[in-house]
Structure 1
Amino acid sequence: MEVFAVAGSRAVLPCKCNPLYSFIPAIQWSKAHKGTVWRRQRSGLQFWGSSWYPKVTQRRVTCPHSQFEKGDFSLQINNVREEDGGVYSCTVENGDQVVVKVITLRITEVSVSSLVPTWGSDISISCKVTPWPPGASVRWTLNNNPFVPQTGIASNRSTTENVVREKATARLTGNWTCVVDYKGKEVRASAALTVKGVIHPSKDDTKVYAALGSAVTLPCVFSPGLIPSNPVWEKLRPEFLFKPAPGRLPASFSSSKLFSQLPSDQSASLKEVGLEDEGSYRCSGSIEGQRLTRNMQLVVAKIHSSIPSKDKGPTTLTCQLTDTSEVTHYEWVHVVYDLNGTGSVRSIQKGATLSVSKVSEENQGEWACRFYGKDGILGNVTYHIPLMSRLSGQKSVGVSHNTAAMVGLSFLLLVLLLILAQMYKNHQRRKRIFQYPALETIVHTISNAREERERNQMKN
């Protein structure tokens, strides 16, 4: 009989016999070439081998008495180790009857050469089965996915090991499982591996998207607890394809180490992104004498507007990126804000280009171009359509005509009111005079006499 156990777990070596015993027989467990492990005499006295004798209150080897009456004399080994692997025998003596059962215990263990390796260092993950089962095959999984090694897997039957050797990178982080196929059965043992280094971005050539004129953060975050020395940011010149050389950083570039609370965060930022800022950037820092680097690419997005010459047709908006290798599709969203500043989406259209009439009040506001990759949205860039000149000119001319008409009508109305007032005033005056005819005669007589005297004086 064969029993597989993972290092650190409990192994149960079965030993079941006929339960029809009048009394509990003598039991002895021994290991080949190692002697007695545990034994019990008929009197009930128990003994442990010298290498198994408990040095602490908790015994690593036990044989539960509660199962003896059922004929179960199985041995339990807690926290099994590599050296526990081997051939065991269970001997049950009941008078002249002796029953011997042989069990092979195989200990499976996955170990890593360095528990917390740094990015770029040599690392080996080994799967050991002690003793090695003849004819067994081994395969590896990483995070429950089949692992395909880049440098191959070395098997050494003499040392009963199966080893994966790789350069430590972020892709090796996770749960490693060694699957041993033996006689139609699978035996699994696992170990967790954490690779320390630059954890964000998690891989080289990660693309960072930013809208033209906006601010952007270039991430460079090391694993918690890692404090890089001599951190450096560089912009790589594109003319050096095989061995990128550092160039000049943008004018708006600034390192965030001045305001970052975490020494492991060496991210940087650009306050205002220009088209000339696109390209590759590299951050680096030294950890335990090893230089760790991470390259990333800044992709700049903008919206190009094509206005017709006669300013009568629709305007074409085109979403443009300096690198479209990861873009799968585009989406246009019209965002309208109310008086409280709350935005709402009015329409959604697909495609990199959009035709929109600027003279239409419905199209005024903010148009956002969202661009997506296979894993979701990558970024967005916005374009604002203000009140266009032609629309405002038409409205102002209309307002001017209306104002002139109102002023003209008001002036005519005022003149009419003045004329009516004067006519009414004259009418009232004549009416008062006609009420006294004698007075009117006297007034005319006096006036005529005055005119006669003035003529006579002129003659003399």
Structure 2
Amino acid sequence: MLVKVIISAGIFLLLSGVRCELAEVLVEAGSQASLPCKCSRTPCHPAAITWSKDKTGTIWRKQSSGLQFWGSNWLEKGNQRVRCPHSKFAQGDYSLQINNVKEEDGGLYSCTVQIGDHFTDKHFVMLRIIQVSISPSAPVWGDIVSVTCSVTPWLNTAYMKWMLNNRPFLPESGSITNSHSSVVKESASDKLTGNWTCVINSKKKEWRATATLMVRGISQPSKSDTKMYAAVGSAFTLPCVFSPGLTVTRAVLEKTDVQKRPALSNKSPDSTSLDQSLTIQEVTLEDQGNYRCAATVRGHSLSRKMQLVVAQIVQSNKKSSVTLTCQLTDASKVIDYKWVHVTYDLNGTRSESSIVEGPTISLKDNWGEWTCRYYGKEGILGNITTQVQMMSGQSGKRSSAPGNTGTVIGLSFLLVILLLVLAQMYKNHQRRKRIFQYPALETIVHTVSNERDEKERNRVKE
């Protein structure tokens, strides 16, 4: 039918001397389409322009006087879905814009430009609408979901392929292609989640249409085998959340490793709750390991695995420096480490400086707060902070040496005086000991001493 219309239009235009052109436009459903129509004569203004669609009649018409008319089928809630930009009329550009194109908008359009009493130009435009649709629109894990790419009218010379999240997708069950569409049917699961893109190639041209497929089931974590990072001593929540509107049974978040299980705080112990997230109040090295979020939905068993990676900072002290090492229980995804020295001014304003790369850093000064940040291919994975205190040995060497020297000198002086006193006391004791060995001599000594004292007192009285 289309071929007949084009042939008939060509014959009629050749006989009437009217210039005819055929263009092809392919756009995604919901977007704006621009159908080209440019006058080939100079001058072209004023002119009468008529846009019409095969089998539906006039879409838009402008008389040479400037009056405009719209077809009733192209009004949407009182607003015209079609328009011609007035600013381009003077340049002979009468292209038609169609907003929010729909699948039924596809087909053959014609633009007729009339100057005076004869037709000058007639343009034919084939508008094709490409659309990706998903059914059901919000499938539940395990449902059979259909992803359809349709082109209206279908382009027979085109080659079509599917992309999922910007990667080529090959359906396990194959795709079904009919006269106007290509359909992929799969069982809904994590691997189908994301952006589905239908790519159309024809005559070195490429068109694309995209739709997003979200499979209802476990919404957090968003994918299985997710690595999560936490710092020793911090609080951390392990997510286990199911999509709204689902009815779940036997929902649980559990640690699958055989090691000692961590102390967990469950937000909702109800096994039918959509939020089974668990909170670790204070992360320790024993909390690292593998966890599983699981439930039953519509008879299907849903589960996602996640791994908790724990980070710590190991500090070792040397005579003249402190060494900090950023350690993770699993560093397989880490490609870079950065150390940041954090300081605060008198107003409490936080600032960062001294960025050093590498898992280990050696400090001879710059004590205080240090943060280790670790990065993966997609950006920062996590961070951990520690406080580095000035070591007492280094503090004495740096600021207390003069005080210690004075103390030692003072103590030494007192010790010498004490030794002299003890020596004198010992000599006196020995002298007295020798005197006590001769009692008669002791009597004489005491008598002489008493007489001397008596004479002194008498002299004082005189």
Q: Structure 2 length as normaliser, TM-score?
A: 0.59
Q: Does 1:354 align with 2:361?
A: yes
1:275 to 281, 285, 293: 285
Aligned to 1:112: 134
Partner Cα separation in structure 1 for residue 96 and residue 338 of structure 2: 67
Structure 1 window deviating more from structure 2 (202-211 vs 383-392): it is 383-392
Aligned to 2:306: 296
Displacement of 1:110 in angstroms is: 1.6
Aligned to 1:243: none
Report SS of the residue matched to 2:407: helix
Alignment of 1:112-191 (within 5 A): 112-119=134-141, 121-140=143-162, 146-151=166-171, 154=174, 156-165=176-185, 167-169=188-190, 172-174=193-195, 176-191=196-211
2:404 to 376, 394, 398: 398
Q: Does 1:379 align with 2:383?
A: yes
Displacement of 1:339 in angstroms is: 7.2
Q: Does 1:447 align with 2:461?
A: yes
Over aligned residues, Cα RMSD in angstroms? 5.9
Aligned residues: 391
1:214 to 234, 242, 258: 234
Partner Cα separation in structure 1 for residue 181 and residue 240 of structure 2: 38
| Alpha carbons 1:302, 1:320 under 8 Å: kept | yes
Distance 1:340 1:104, change over 3 A: closer
Report SS of the residue matched to 2:404: helix
1:370 to 373, 376, 384: 373
Partner Cα separation in structure 2 for residue 335 and residue 77 of structure 1: 57
| Alpha carbons 2:160, 2:200 under 8 Å: kept | yes
Structure 2: which 5+ residue stretches go unaligned? 1-21, 42-46, 62-71, 87-91, 418-456
Q: Structure 1 length as normaliser, TM-score?
A: 0.59
Q: Spell out, residue by residue over 1:93-114, the C-alpha distance to the aligned partner (whole angstroms, 9 max, x if none).
A: xx9x9x9997755443221122
Partner Cα separation in structure 2 for residue 366 and residue 87 of structure 1: 71
Distance 1:36 1:73, change over 3 A: farther
Displacement of 1:231 in angstroms is: 2.8
The amino acid of 1:379's aligned partner reads N
| Alpha carbons 2:344, 2:350 under 8 Å: kept | yes
| Alpha carbons 1:152, 1:164 under 8 Å: kept | no
Report SS of the residue matched to 1:111: strand
Displacement of 1:280 in angstroms is: 0.7
Report SS of the residue matched to 1:325: coil
| Alpha carbons 2:140, 2:217 under 8 Å: kept | yes
Structure 1: which 5+ residue stretches go unaligned? 41-51, 239-246, 412-442, 449-460
Partner Cα separation in structure 2 for residue 156 and residue 58 of structure 1: 40
Aligned to 1:428: none
Partner Cα separation in structure 1 for residue 28 and residue 313 of structure 2: 60
Partner Cα separation in structure 2 for residue 321 and residue 300 of structure 1: 6
Aligned to 2:252: 232
Aligned to 1:434: none
Report SS of the residue matched to 1:249: coil
Distance 1:217 1:100, change over 3 A: closer
Partner Cα separation in structure 1 for residue 53 and residue 309 of structure 2: 69
